[in-house]
Structure 1
Amino acid sequence: MRYFIELSYRGTAYHGWQTQANGSSVQSTLEAALTQRLRKPVFVVGSGRTDAGVHARQQFAHFDLVEPILLSDALIYSINCILPEDIAIRTIFPVRPNDHARFSAVSRYYQYHITRYKNSFENSLTYHFRPDLEIDRMNEACQILLKYTDFKSFSKARANVDHFRCRLDFAYWQRSESDLLTFHIKANRFLWGMVRTIVGTMLEIGQDRMSLDKFEQLIVAQDRTIAGRAAPANGLYLVDVGYPAELLAQRVLFG
C-alpha cells in the first residue's frame, strides 16, 4: 500500500528536507515519528528537497507499507503529538502504487517574503531588507523571466540535473497594505537554489544596480557567476504542490 502525506513545517531548525549526516532534517524527523507510531520502519519520499531554513506551507511525501492502516483523525493527532511543534501533518491518504510524490507532481508554487521593518516575532520567517525597491521594475524583470525556459544562470553550480529547463506559469511581486513584499513564482519544476537566486538578482534590479537589459543578458548567458547572490533562506516558502485530480481523489482532511 502506498500513502501520501500532506504536511507543513517551519524550516528554521532543520538542515533542509533531505536526511543529513551532520544535522536534523524534516525527512528524518518525519520518518522517526511515523516509525514510532506505526511500529514498523517507514521511509518517506518528498515532492522536493527544500534547503536549510526554507519553510513549507504545503509539502507532500509518500511511503509504502505491506499492510493497510486505518486512517482517522485520532491517527493524525497521535502522530502530530510525536512530531515537534514546527512540523504538522494535515492528512494521510491512499494512492495508487505508481503515484509518486516527486515525479507525479505537475507544479510547485513558491513565495518569498520581505519586510522593510524588523519584527521580533518573524525574524526567522521573513527577510528584513531595508533599502527602497522599485517594484514596477522588478515586475518588468518578471516579464522578461517568463520569456525563457532555461535557467542555468540561477542554478547552483553543483546541481546534479540532466537539463536546466523549467516551464514558468507566473512570476510577479506584490506589496501588501502592511508593507510586506511577496514574490510569487510557479513552475513545473525548480532548480537547486533557483528561487533564492532569482530573488537576490531582482533585489539588485529593484535598487537600480542592474539594468533590465543586463538581466536578460545574464539569463541568455547561462552563467551562474554573473547572477546576483542568493537571498537568505528564511524568507522562502513552498506554498503549493500540484497533482492530477485523480491522484488526490481519496484525499480527506482530518481535524
Structure 2
Amino acid sequence: MNRYFIYLGYNGKNYCGWQVQPNGVTVQQCLEEALGILLRKPVPVVGAGRTDAGVHARLMVAHFDWEAEITDLFHLAGKLNRLLPKDIAVYNIVPVVSDAHARFSATSRTYNYYITDKKDPFNHETVYKLPVQPDFAKMNEACKELFKYTDFTSFSKLHTDVKTNNCKIMQAEWKQDGDVWIFTIQADRFLRNMVRAIVGTLLEVGRGKLSIQGFRDVIEQQDRCKAGTSAPGHALFLVNVTYPEELFIKNN
C-alpha cells in the first residue's frame, strides 16, 4: 500500500467544516468524492485536524492510501482541481512513508486570526470587524502567559473525545499589517475551538474587561465557562502544518 500527502487550501465559508458529517457539505467529503471519481473506487482521506464550520485553510494536509504507485502526481493534482469546487484547491501531492499520518505525525500547526476596526468592503468575509480597536499591547502581554501552561481545558469545546487537553504553544502574538491585526499561534496540537476561545478571551483583555492576572486565572481554573466567548470562525485560517523530513520519499 502506498501513502500520499495532499496539500490543499480552501475557503470555508460554504462548508460545515473539514470533517465529514451527515447534516452538511464538508471539505473532506468533497475531496473524497473527487478522488473516488478519478481512482474509480472509494478513497478515504485523513486530515491534519478539524476546522470548524466557516473556518478557512491556506494550507491543510491530508493523506490517502492507494494499492499501486501513482507515477504522475502532478497530473492527478490537476485533475482533482478540475473536479473540485472553486473554493477548494489542491497545491501538491507527495509520496510519504507508509506510517506517515497527516494528523498524528504533525509536529506543529499554525493558525492566523484577522481583526480590524476599519470598514472594508473587500475583506469583511475573512476579517473580524470590531467597533473599537482593543489594546493590542496588553493582549500581547497576555499572550506571553500562554507559554507558561500546557493544560488548556479552559479554551476547549466541552465534551470532546480527546484523551488530554495538554498542548505546547510555541508562538502566540499579535502583529499589525496595515489596518489589519493578525494573531499568529503555533502549537504541537490544538483542541476543538481552542484558537477562537483564546482570541475571544484575549479580546476581553484588550477591552479592559480582564486583567493579565485574570487571564492567568482563566487558564488555571480549567473551566471553559470562565473564558471569553469564542471569536467568529470566518476570520480564522489554518496556515501551516509541519512534519519531520524523514516522512517524505525523495525521488532519485
1:245 — aligned with what?
245
- Which segment drifts farther, 65-74 or 47-56? 65-74
Does the 8 Å contact 1:114/1:180 carry over to 2?
yes
| Cα distance between partner residues in 1 of 2:173 and 2:96 | 34
Q: Name the amino acid aligned to 2:86.
A: E
Pair 135,19 (structure 1): closer, same or farther in 2 beyond 3 Å: same
Q: Is the 8 A contact 1:153 1:227 kept in 2?
A: yes
Whole-angstrom distance in 1 between the partners of 2:75 and 2:201: 46
The alpha-carbon distance between structure 1 residues 72 and 165, as it changes in their structure 2 partners (threshold 3 A), is closer
Say which is worse superposed, 65-74 or 104-113, in terms of deviation.
65-74
Partner of 1:74: 75
**Matching residue's letter, 2:108:** S
Which residue in the other structure is 1:135 paired with?
A: 136
- Are the structure 2 counterparts of residues 249 and 137 from structure 1 closer, same or farther at C-alpha, using a change threshold of 3 Å? farther
Q: Find the aligned partners of 2:84 and 2:122 in 1 and give their Cα distance.
A: 22
**Deviation (angstroms), 1:227:** 0.4
Aligned equivalents of 1:131, 1:248: Cα separation in 2:
47
SS at match of 2:58: strand
Unaligned runs of 5+ in 1: none
Deviation at 1:249, TM superposition (A): 4.6
Is 1:228 the counterpart of 2:228 in the alignment? yes
Match of 1:169 in 2: 170
Report the Cα distance in structure 1 between the residues aligned to 2:250 and 2:130, rounded to whole angstroms: 43
Rounded Cα–Cα distance in structure 1 between residues aligned with 2:27 and 2:210: 37
Name the TM-score, length of structure 1 as normaliser: 0.95
- Tell me how large the CA RMSD over aligned residues is: 1.2
CA apart distance, 1:42 = 0.9
Q: Is the deviation greater in 60-69 or in 123-132?
A: 123-132
Using the size of structure 2 for normalisation, the TM-score is 0.96
Distance 1:238 1:228 in 2: 21
Per the alignment, residue 40 of structure 2 pairs with 39
One-letter amino acid of the counterpart of residue 205, structure 1: V
Contact residue 45 and residue 61 of structure 1 kept, 8 A: yes
Q: How many residue pairs get matched? A: 250
- Structure 2: tracts of 5 or more residues without a match: none
Measured in 2, the distance between the counterparts of 1:174 and 1:92 equals 32
- SS in structure 1 of the partner of residue 246 of structure 2: coil
Q: Which amino acid aligns with 2:194?
A: M
Shift of 1:208: 0.5
Partners of 2:116 and 2:133 within 8 A in 1: no
Provide the residue aligned with 1:118 in structure 2.
119
Distance 1:137 1:105 in 2: 32
Most deviating of 114-123 and 233-242:
114-123
1:130 Cα deviation from its structure 2 partner: 2.0
Q: Is the 8 A contact 1:174 1:183 kept in 2?
A: yes
Matched, 1:202 2:202: yes
Shift of 1:96: 1.1
Secondary structure of the structure 2 residue equivalent to 1:92: strand
Identical-residue share of aligned pairs (%): 49
Structure 2 residue aligned with 1:160: 161
Counterpart position of 2:179? 179
Q: CA deviation at 1:125?
A: 1.1
- Offset at residue 57 of structure 1 (A): 0.7
Alignment of 1:23 onto 2:11: no
Alpha-carbon distance in structure 2 between the residues aligned to 1:179 and 1:37: 43
